[in-house]
Amino acid sequence: MTIIIWIIQLIFVPTVSPLCIGVIKKIKAKFQNRQGASIFQPYKDLWKLFHKDEVISKDASWIFRVAPFIIFTITIIVGASIPLFASFLENNITSDFLFIVYALAIGTFFLALAGMDTGSAFGGFGSSREMTMSALAEGGLIFSLLTVSLPRGDSNLFAISGSNIVSETQFFLPIMLSFIGFFIVLLAETARFPFDNPATHLELTMIHEAMILEYSGKKLALMEWASANKFLIFVGLGSNLFLPFGLAQTADIKQIMMGISFLVIKMFVFCLAIAIIESSMAKYRFFRLPDILLISFILNAVAIGFIK
């Protein structure tokens, strides 16, 4: 039974992640009084890209060619290493929160390298902006995960999610402060408003899109899929570390199904919140973004202070 659960854990993120993007787009369309595409449109887009030919610049090196495979593989590994619907699973190799943070950082590193590799001006400034945002967001991300790990005295994400520390009164305030800080980092790391506009190719607004502008066909599909995977990974971390209710505590089939049901509900709430944010505000100027990430860092530092 445990093997089956691990298989579900492994395939859940790449299977469901495009649906999250489709749900956000659908909700945003409804807010704009449009019909909008189907929530399954991202799957159709990936299918279409996987069946298209690729055009690769003659100036591209091996980095440009292998980066999509590295980035996608990292999201699969990380997606299988975080608690999604069960907290009783044991993984002492890749479930340490520092491993998760720096595995994602490696993916960002190769994404930035790929953006610069062809010598494109768009790729260069996109990579520069991405590394700036990542450097500023990394501290807030580590501190937010540290906040939930300190009361448990364990850095393993499955152990943290199983402890349900948010239900303890003395930890409620710092956990909520840390959650707000984490949510800001989520928006930054997943290229959402107000940090980036995932639906545009305008020079003044794009960060993530600038880095993958030279990609086409199958490699572009992997890049888009990896981006959706990363979004679901952050949603899973936010759902099950800061709001860890509904997680399966044993391998009972009923608890597993209930855990998946609760995860789907929490995913929808995150998608709804992000859709509301993106429908009610504009993207910020680039030089205002560090101030928002500084707020995230300060909130998490204050939360750690409360716990200590």
Q: Name the CA radius of gyration of the chain, rounded.
A: 19
pTM, rounded to two decimals: 0.95
Contact call for residues 126 and 133 (beta carbons, < 8 A): no
CA dihedral 248, 253, 259, 264 (to 10 degrees): 160
User: Collapsing DSSP states into helix, strand and coil, what is residue 248?
Assistant: strand
**Residues forming beta bridges with residue 96, ordered by sequence position:** 156
Quickly tell me which residue has 């949510």 as its tokens.
183
User: Collapsing DSSP states into helix, strand and coil, what is residue 228?
Assistant: helix
φ/ψ of residue 248, rounded to 5: -70, 135
Instruction: Please give the Cα distance from 221 to 43 (Å, whole number).
Output: 10
Better-scored residue on pLDDT, 167 or 188? 188
- pLDDT tens digit string along 177-193? 999 999 999 999 999 98
- pLDDT tens digit string along 45-70? 999 999 999 999 888 999 999 999 99
CA angle 243, 246, 247 (to 5 degrees): 90
- pLDDT tens digit string along 112-142? 999 999 888 888 888 999 999 999 999 999 9
